């Protein structure tokens, strides 16, 4: 979870250069923040959940697609793993009249769109892998700056509701990805560029509205390369709550991506569906999942703010999500798949309605919010790097289509993810 040993001397925490907000965030900021979340994740998750699988399969065929997709997805996740904390740190220290977050939102969104165009026209898996690596690098420059705006703009008493709203927006993006695959699956350029251009437009809208205050003065000197590197270590002894939240997110994300990376192939292999039918069933399943998620996320976020509690929601949601994974192992029809999606949507809806608020509440230092959220995002990016290869290894046992083992292991990981939330003390 860092780049140095736990024995390194801790860095002093500076006085806040920009105090955290105490007033309710304006509605225009909240609305465009949610739209930017939708846009960024529509551009980024359409490849993750649909278009990369279809593109790779069109080049290498169904038999070799799982292994090829695993390589491409893992390389992209490595880029995300590195880029988020690095660009988060750069964003925190960016000076100039355009603010700390705006420049990286624009650079990242434009760069991702260009990389998606390259992938759409690529004629080899190698080109796709390089372009996806660069696309993830640039996308995470934008994401590091974007997530920090929640801490910059939203006071603690409003974070549960807005966290839930952002979770809904992200999952609407997944729904858009599923329908893009259904309706544009044979037209690669629109399949990649329609989500990419839409995402770019929504991010630029947020950039225009965002009250991104420039730093009032240049941050203190970092004291050399060693000091800079130590900033990427958040000592779990000094900040145990942050460490527990990090571990929970890592485990839940690993379990989720173990399935979602191979969802399309699961439908083809386990339910014996052809590509066209599988993409249609996937789209309907994600629609069901998203509707349930929207309701549960909004209710959970509202209740969390009302009750002043986070942990019980995060822990219980993770357990419900694990139950959904078990339900998928028993699904032997499209109807069974849809029922499992309802359970998964309920569990993950409660989770996204509260988890980001919990994380922001336990950040170690407000002046380093983008950097610390970047370190936290390793808990997102790391599992995305591991899940494709780990999932492929599990699926590859016992004849090559062992999705039962994949889902059973994912369910067990969810249970562990629920348990590690319980020791957090800073929030209830």
pLDDT given for residue 221 in this prediction = 58
The Cα 374–Cα 122 span in angstroms is 30
Q: Using an 8 Å Cβ cutoff, are 110 and 200 in contact?
A: yes
pLDDT given for residue 370 in this prediction = 63
pLDDT given for residue 368 in this prediction = 65
Provide the residue-wise pLDDT of the chain in tens; the chain has 428 residues.
Answer: 333 333 333 333 444 566 667 788 888 999 999 999 999 999 988 887 778 888 888 888 877 777 788 788 888 878 887 887 788 878 888 887 888 899 999 999 999 999 999 999 999 999 999 999 999 999 999 998 998 888 788 887 787 778 778 878 887 887 888 788 778 867 889 999 999 999 999 999 999 999 887 776 666 655 555 555 555 667 778 888 888 888 888 898 888 888 887 788 888 888 888 888 988 898 888 889 888 988 888 888 888 888 878 888 888 888 898 899 899 888 889 999 999 999 999 998 888 778 777 777 777 776 666 667 767 777 776 787 778 778 878 887 766 678 888 888 988 998 888 888 888 877 77
Render the burial of 339-362: b for 16+ CB within 10 Å, e for the rest: bbbbbbbbbbbbbbbbbbbbbbbb
Q: For the chain, first and last CA: distance in Å? A: 24
pLDDT given for residue 335 in this prediction = 93
The Cα 110–Cα 80 span in angstroms is 16
The Cα 352–Cα 336 span in angstroms is 24
- Which residue matches tokens 């900040």? 239
Give Cβ neighbours of residue 9 (< 8 Å, ≥ 6 apart).
230
The Cα 253–Cα 377 span in angstroms is 10
pLDDT given for residue 369 in this prediction = 64
Domains in the chain, please, with CATH? 27-212+228-419 (1.20.1250.20)
Q: What is the pTM of this model?
A: 0.69
The Cα 106–Cα 203 span in angstroms is 7
pLDDT given for residue 4 in this prediction = 34
């Amino acid at each position: 979870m860092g780049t140095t040993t736990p024995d390194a001397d801790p860095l002093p925490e500076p006085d806040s250069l920009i105090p955290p907000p105490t007033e309710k965030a304006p509605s225009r900021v909240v609305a465009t923040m949610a739209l930017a979340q939708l846009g960024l994740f529509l551009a980024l998750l359409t490849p993750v959940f649909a278009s990369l699988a279809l593109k790779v399969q069109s080049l290498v065929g169904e038999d070799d697609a799982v292994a090829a997709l695993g390589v491409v997805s893992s390389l992209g996740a490595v880029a995300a793993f590195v880029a988020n904390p690095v660009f988060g740190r750069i964003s925190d220290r960016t000076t100039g009249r355009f603010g700390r977050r705006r420049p990286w939102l624009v650079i990242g969104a434009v760069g991702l769109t260009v990389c998606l165009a390259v992938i759409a026209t690529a004629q080899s898996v190698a080109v796709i892998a390089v372009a996806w690596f660069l696309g993830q690098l640039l996308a995470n420059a934008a994401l590091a700056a974007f997530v920090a705006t929640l801490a910059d703009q939203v006071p603690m008493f409003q974070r549960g509701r807005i966290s839930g709203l952002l979770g809904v927006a992200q999952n609407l993006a997944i729904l858009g990805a599923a329908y893009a695959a259904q309706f544009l699956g044979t037209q690669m350029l629109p399949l990649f560029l329609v989500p990419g251009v839409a995402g770019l437009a929504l991010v630029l809208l947020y950039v225009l509205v965002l009250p991104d205050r420039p730093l009032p003065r240049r941050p203190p000197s970092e004291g050399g390369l060693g000091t800079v590197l130590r900033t990427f270590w958040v000592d779990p002894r000094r900040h145990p709550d942050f460490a527990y939240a990090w571990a929970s997110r890592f485990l839940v994300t690993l379990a989720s991506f173990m399935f979602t990376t191979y969802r399309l192939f699961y439908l083809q292999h386990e339910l014996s569906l052809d590509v066209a039918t599988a993409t249609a069933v996937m789209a309907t399943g994600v629609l069901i999942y998203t509707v349930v998620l929207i309701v549960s996320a909004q209710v959970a976020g509202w209740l969390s703010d009302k009750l002043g509690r986070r942990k019980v929601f995060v822990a219980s949601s993770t357990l419900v999500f694990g139950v959904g994974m078990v339900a998928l192992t028993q699904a032997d029809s499209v109807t069974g798949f849809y029922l499992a999606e309802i359970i998964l949507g309920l569990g993950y809806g409660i989770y996204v309605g509260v988890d980001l608020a919990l994380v922001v509440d336990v950040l170690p230092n407000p002046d380093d919010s983008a950097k610390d959220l970047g370190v936290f995002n390793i808990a997102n990016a790391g599992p995305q790097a591991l899940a494709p290869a780990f999932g492929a290894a599990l699926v590859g046992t016992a004849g090559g289509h062992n999705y039962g083992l994949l889902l059973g292991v994912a369910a067990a990981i969810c249970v562990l993810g629920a348990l590690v939330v319980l020791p957090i003390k800073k929030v209830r």
